[in-house]
Structure 1
Amino acid sequence: MATSSDHPEGPTAPSDAPTKIIRSLRRADGSLKEIFEDGRERITSANVAVTYIPDRQRCMVTWKNRGERILTQVGEAFPQFTVLNNGGVELYLPEGKAVIMHPPGSPLAERSAETSDVQTSFTLFLSRLHSASGTDTLPTLYAWGESNGFSRQSLYNMISQNRVPGLETLRRFRKATGKPIDWLLGEDVLNPVPQEGESSAVPAEAVPDHLTEEFVLIPRYDVKASAGSGHWHDNGEQAQFCMAFRRHWVESYLHAKKEDLSVVRVHGDSMAPLLQDGDNILVNHSVNSPQDGVYVIRIDGQVLVKQTQVLTGKKLRIVSVNATYESYTVDLSEENQTDFEIIGKVVWFGRQI
């Protein structure tokens, strides 16, 4: 795992002055790249310089008049990086990881050390785009984009702003790469969720073992969370197929355990436009106390997906996003005998376009 430090270690630490510059070149994005006699490389962009030390696989990020930070175990090649609007630097590391570093003394500096394993949504998208387009550098990505109808400027703006594109642009990327939008955004569905009446599901046991290292396999059950009339038929059978989500995303963003998650399908329109009929929702069953949010609940024998709002007096407001459905209040006090249970919180949804 990549780690960061404010201070170099020992007399030969990478903050020592590098040797003579043997080559300098101005890159297409306006930054200056310098190659040193000892093999180090330095790229200077705006008021930030990133130096790569190949023999120690380290990077040193230096802010003008603000100090430096060191990142270890960055791999065998100079990592791509982006200078953020807030002065931080995001470095893209092997295996799709990313590190955001901020100058010492800045309000965000303390958070930098905690993000060495954080994979931002944009970083994941950019990694997927590189993979789908068969490119491994920004210049080759720009060339690929221009040959597929994407202007160099639009791609540069997207990357420099760390911005995941909107739906229309994502559709164009889907057409150009042949990859589903969900895949480009980071989701991996090993076995597509079958429509009603289909039997194309693959047993979860058939998933190759090596995929379970990178992905968390979440069972998709043949039950239905109603967003309308209110029904969820659970026949008690085991899941016949699963959906795969990146383990890093589940553990670092959802802070969830695999065994606490399941996927079911939404039926009905009471949560439209937030949730549509046919959407698949990821439910975290460990989050089952009364809170504000979108939850799967059971009330009087019916299982629903609804928006909940905590009220005073141990009461919970049950709200449908669709205004044509009335909201109502549930009394959670001990003396009330209402058949009510919070099954879990909805933490993700997927939709076929």
Structure 2
Amino acid sequence: MVSDPRAVLERLCAERGEDFAGLSRMLGRNAAYIQQFVRRGVPKRLKEEERRKLARYFSISESALGGPPEEPRAPGELVSINRHPVSVSAGPGAIANEGLGKPYFGFDERWLKALTSTPSSNLSIVRVEGDSMSPTLNDGDDILVDLGDCGDRLRDGIYVLRIDDALVVKRLALNPMGRRVTVQSDNPAYPDWPDCGFDEINCIGRVIWSGRKVV
């Protein structure tokens, strides 16, 4: 089944707290460009350069935005996951940038599918900065973030959240009695943020794996 690029962009913006005007400016277009593409069908298709930039920004396949289908992977070939040049703060707050990701880790495809059903194009590796999630996550750890495991799928676990212009990694504990959540730090030296509404949580993705240097 061929995906509708307009529906894909609208869903991604809703899930990740992005806006059409911001994406338009990232492409060097006027603020209404993406909204007109999604809502009015103008232009009929994105230019190749625009499609590529949006796909890399959202860590998805270009085929989801109207590009050619990906080449089938050879048996035994490792799945490459991009690492983005931004840190997620386990401390005061890391500032997100718009840098594009580059291949960083290769995972066995079967192992990756056992970890998550999300396509590899919707996974990203970022680096932890700070110690508020210690000892679970330490400063300098690389974490694998499932960008498709958010929104209605939100549940107890460790997530990357956007707060203003900063990205933070925190543990979420959901209240079973209602749509409320406590944002926690595993390091007891840092305060929790209790009783937050779901609409106050701008979730980027769920942390599903971490890697660190042994010293």
Does structure 2 retain, via aligned residues, the 8 Å contact 1:250–1:257?
no
3-state secondary structure, aligned to 2:114:
helix
| Aligned match for 1:351, one of 196, 204, 212 | 212
| Aligned match for 1:332, one of 191, 197, 203 | 197
Q: CA deviation at 1:231?
A: 1.4
C-alpha distance after superposition, 1:53-96 (max 9, x if no partner): xxxxxxxxxxxxxxxxxxxxxxxxxxxxxxxxxxxxxxxxxxxx
Does structure 1 retain, via aligned residues, the 8 Å contact 2:96–2:166?
no
Does the C-alpha gap of structure 1 residues 352 and 277 become closer, same or farther in structure 2, counting only changes over 3 Å? same
C-alpha distance after superposition, 1:117-156 (max 9, x if no partner): xxxxxxxxxxxxxxxxxxxxxxxxxxxxxxxxxxxxxxxx
Q: CA deviation at 1:210?
A: 8.0
Q: Does 1:227 align with 2:82?
A: no
- Residue type at the aligned position of 1:223: V
C-alpha distance after superposition, 1:165-210 (max 9, x if no partner): xxxxxxxxxxxxxxxxxxxxxxxxxxxxxxxxxxxxxxxxxxxx98
Partner residue, 2:67? none
Partner residue, 1:301? 165
3-state secondary structure, aligned to 2:133:
coil
Q: Does 1:248 align with 2:113?
A: no
Equivalent positions of 1:54-133 (< 5 A) are none
> Which ranges of structure 1 fall in alignment gaps of 5 or more residues?
1-208
CA RMSD for the aligned pairs? 2.2
Q: CA deviation at 1:301?
A: 3.4
Q: CA deviation at 1:315?
A: 1.2
- Residue type at the aligned position of 1:325: Y
TM-score by length of 1: 0.37
Alignment partners' CA distance in 2, 1:211 and 1:220: 22
* Structure ranking higher on relative contact order (CA contacts 8 Å, 6+ apart): 2
Partner residue, 1:215? 78
Does the C-alpha gap of structure 1 residues 220 and 319 become closer, same or farther in structure 2, counting only changes over 3 Å? same
Alignment partners' CA distance in 2, 1:251 and 1:327: 33
Partner residue, 2:178? 313
Does the C-alpha gap of structure 1 residues 250 and 318 become closer, same or farther in structure 2, counting only changes over 3 Å? same
- Residue type at the aligned position of 1:351: R
> Which ranges of structure 2 fall in alignment gaps of 5 or more residues?
1-71
Alignment partners' CA distance in 1, 2:117 and 2:111: 8
Q: CA deviation at 1:241?
A: 3.6
| Aligned match for 1:283, one of 145, 149, 156 | 145
Size of the aligned set, in residue pairs, is: 140
Alignment partners' CA distance in 2, 1:212 and 1:283: 25
Alignment partners' CA distance in 1, 2:96 and 2:75: 29
Q: CA deviation at 1:219?
A: 0.2
- Residue type at the aligned position of 2:142: N
Partner residue, 1:167? none
Q: Does 1:268 align with 2:130?
A: yes
Does the C-alpha gap of structure 1 residues 342 and 330 become closer, same or farther in structure 2, counting only changes over 3 Å? farther
Alignment partners' CA distance in 1, 2:126 and 2:182: 23
3-state secondary structure, aligned to 2:100:
coil
Q: CA deviation at 1:331?
A: 3.1
